[in-house]
Amino acid sequence: FMVMNSFATSADAMETLAQHPNLGSGLELLQNKVPKVLTANLAPATWEKQPEQEWCPPGDGDLYTALLESGSLDRLIEEGMQYMFVSNSDNLGASMDLKILTHFANSGAPFMLEVADRASTDLDAGTSHLAKLRDTGNLVLREASQCRPQDEQAFRDTSRYPYVSTNNFWVDLLALRTLLRQHNGMLPLPTLRRAATVDLCDDAAPRVAHLETSAGTAIHCFEEAMALLVPRERCASAKTLGDLMVLRSDAYVLTGDLRVMALHGSCKGMPPVVRLDPMYRSVDRLESLIP
């Protein structure tokens, strides 16, 4: 078990994990950081009030380079580990499923992405659908931010692109190390641009872009990568504060084995959709207005 932290989450996360000594040591993988870029002139942002706000993590696609550069990838392989299950910490539906692990190991695939049937809640920015490259036939993930305006209608067509990424995936560590060595330690992942203010809690702060990569997009880098259709319950993400509000509601239940699951008796088994006003930009604001 390992947690990839950024400079912004490390202290809080490790303080929480310290309360569970049974998890052992060597739990943290610290990712890199990159400067935020001013939208106006593409220069690195400066913010004298809080200089630490000038930086951001480069997205969860940094996982692979961080594993290699930290020595963690070699260490895991030397300890006899071959398969790695990865999930976002905001996906409370993710769990280690031994049946899926067995399927992945028996398949011989180097990479396997868990996907679910796309729903209306998956059409907003930040979600990615599964597609296939015409020239190579490799599977690929595409996000809304990568879609040209004239292609938006096709992007949202669930009959054409019926599967959405759950952000759960499985990787053969030996295949990953070989691929990283072929690419000088950095996989060729598409760069995504996230709009924000340099200080997320200050609406008047300069507009910036976060340049990120997504770990799931590595699927196109692996020959013979595969996807697995899984139940929707393996994806209970809190990507927005609206999602967090729903997860805290009685639309979800906590099972006896500590999995978070949507109640199937309402909304046809799908969680309700909540879109909050931009004033609810931070958790602190949300909790101050909705105790």
Residue 266 is predicted with a pLDDT of: 52
Residue 23 is predicted with a pLDDT of: 87
d(CA 128, CA 142): 5
Residue 268 is predicted with a pLDDT of: 56
d(CA 166, CA 233): 10
Residue 125 is predicted with a pLDDT of: 53
DSSP secondary structure of 12-42? HHHHHHTT-GGG-S--EEE---EE-EETTT-
105: nearest Cα among 163, 173, 31: 173
- Digitized pLDDT (tens) for each residue of the chain, 291 residues in all: 899 999 989 999 999 999 998 888 888 999 999 999 999 999 999 999 999 999 999 999 999 999 999 999 999 999 999 999 999 888 888 888 999 999 999 999 999 999 988 876 666 655 688 888 888 888 999 887 787 888 878 887 888 888 888 889 999 999 999 999 999 999 999 999 889 999 988 888 999 999 999 999 999 999 999 999 998 888 877 778 888 888 888 888 888 877 787 776 555 556 677 888 887 778 888 888 776
Contacts with 83 (C-beta within 8 Å, 6 or more apart), sequence order: 101, 104, 105, 170, 171, 172, 173
Residue 264 is predicted with a pLDDT of: 62
Residue 276 is predicted with a pLDDT of: 86
Residue 83 is predicted with a pLDDT of: 97
Residue 70 is predicted with a pLDDT of: 95
